Amino acid sequence: MRILYFSDNCSNHNRRFLEKLISFGHDVCFLNAAQDDLAAENWLPRGVRRVQPKPSIRRDADPTQFAKFLSEFRSLLNEFRPDLVHAGPVQTCGYVAALSGFHPLVLMSWGSDILVHADQNEEWRLATEIALRAADGFFCDCETVREAAQRYVKIPNTQIVQFPWGIKRGSFSPLGPMYPRESANPDSFTFISTRSWERLYDIAVLLNAFHLAYKRNNRMRLLLLGNGSEAGRVRNFIADHELKQVVATPGKIVSTEMPLWFRTADAYVSCARSDGTSVSLLEAMAMGLPAVVTDIPSNREWIAESENGFLAATSSSEEFAEKLVRAATLPPRDLEAISQRNQAIVAERADWDKNFPSLLCLYEHLVSTAALVGA
């Protein structure tokens, strides 16, 4: 099958999709519409062709700006002649693919496109509806996104494939090497955050919550991985509140080293205002960590209060602080029970290798149906 995979970034998420498609023997062309510093040749899985348009489009461009790419996209369709187009996010790459009139089209949601951007104004709402109505198939990572999309367009369940952008079996395990813990306080309790330093992830709320919790329990430490546009605010907060000795900021970590950092931690924390199924959360659960996360529908699909983690109200530093304290004071027996529970949940529901074939089944159904119609 010839697949044109159309997206706007060179993230690890896209790479994993491309790797899987190639591994099943498909002929894959990756079209990256946006400017992306990670678009190095060694990022691309072997066997995948890449097309980088000139000029590129910013990832944060609105649907109208992306629509200007339509002519070039149609030219690529004529050149590559795919059997199927897989496109997302919804209102950008998915919107362009919808305007092209190509079928079959599998539209892929990235979570925030449906949960956050779709309602920001009339332009985005219209692009959302156009893309969803044109889609022959829809892929999403959680029930929250499925329900939100179906409020725009009543997509039949037979045209939807849903599974988390999970993790490769065995890639995240509590067993293995780790970075050494802080020698000055081996009894510390370390929280790890792996989200980008952006407003969507409420890093300011996390820092304030940690500060409040630390004043109640000075065993706490925070491992704040990553970087982002909020970097100045993050560093100023750490300096102003004299937290440099207890908040570590090692920067952006390559994916292969993430398990080592997770093994250094005792619990995971995310204050994201909106999420689909968070791969970071699944990685933490696979490592056996309890999670302190925002009380939003997508997280409730994975975390049950006090059973395998804790839920805190969006943007509430005080409630997050309370849950951080509770997590840090869990007795060892409870921590071990949560560890086993979370590892089992991920193994059962978030196995990337086990779930991916359902997407391929949708591809095959749509291509064979299109062939019958064409005949």
Domain shared by 365 and 328, yes or no: no
Domain shared by 108 and 90, yes or no: yes
182 lies in some domain: no
pLDDT of residue 179: 77
Percent of the chain with pLDDT over 90: 84
Domain shared by 13 and 127, yes or no: yes
How much is the pTM?
0.90
Q: Are 196 and 230 in contact (CB under 8 A)?
A: no
Mean pLDDT across 219-230 = 95
Give the CATH number of the domain where residue 80 resides: 3.40.50.2000
183 lies in some domain: no
Per-residue tokens: 340: 């086993």
Does pLDDT of 373 surpass 70?
Answer: no
pLDDT tens digits for range 54-90: 777 888 899 999 999 999 999 999 999 999 999 999 9
Domain shared by 302 and 369, yes or no: no
Does pLDDT of 114 surpass 70?
Answer: yes
pLDDT of residue 375: 47
CB-based contacts of 51-58 (< 8 A; 24+ apart in sequence): 51/76, 56/32, 57/8, 57/33, 57/92, 58/34
Structural domain boundaries, residue 67: 2-163+356-374
168 lies in some domain: no
Domain shared by 338 and 193, yes or no: yes
User: How many domains, in total, are found in the chain?
Assistant: 2
pLDDT tens digits for range 165-203: 988 888 899 988 887 665 446 789 999 999 999 999 999
Mean pLDDT across 335-350 = 97
Q: Are 281 and 299 in contact (CB under 8 A)?
A: yes
Does pLDDT of 374 surpass 70?
Answer: no
Domain shared by 57 and 152, yes or no: yes
Domain shared by 198 and 313, yes or no: yes
Q: Is 220 helix (H, G, I), strand (E, B) or coil?
A: strand
